Amino acid sequence: MSVERARRVASLVKQNVASILLEDSTRPEMRWITITDCVVTRDLKRADLYFTTIEQNLPLEKARQALEEEKGTIKRQLASRIVIKYMPDLRFIWDETVMIEKKIREIQDERSRSTERDT
């Protein structure tokens, strides 16, 4: 399969899974989960979905557990929305980039406050 096809499928999977979590899930905690990225293998057999949460409302482990418990339902709903020969296996992965960005901003803010105090 082409890399471009894998990218298009990844975009469709990301968009539709995000919609399923927000609009179609019966579990209220799913509304606090955001799909930040999706990478589909070239053979279209696996989709790695990167997610993050609004931490104060939903801890990481609770989000991961909810996604794993609902994986079959999400996959069935996804299959009804997009037409492809094989539905990829879904794998949910915590997206650490949001946490890293937050820490970088905190360090930058701290340094700027320190610089302001020194002047």
**Total of domains in the chain:** 1
AA identity, residue 98? V
- Domain of 36: which CATH number? 3.30.300.20
For the four alpha carbons of 85, 87, 89 and 90, in that order, the dihedral sign comes to: positive
Q: What is the pLDDT of residues 24-68, one digit of tens each?
A: 888 888 989 999 999 999 999 999 999 998 766 678 888 999 999
Cα separation of 13 and 26, whole Å? Answer: 20
List the domain range (segments joined by +) for residue 48: 3-118
Tell me the pTM. 0.82
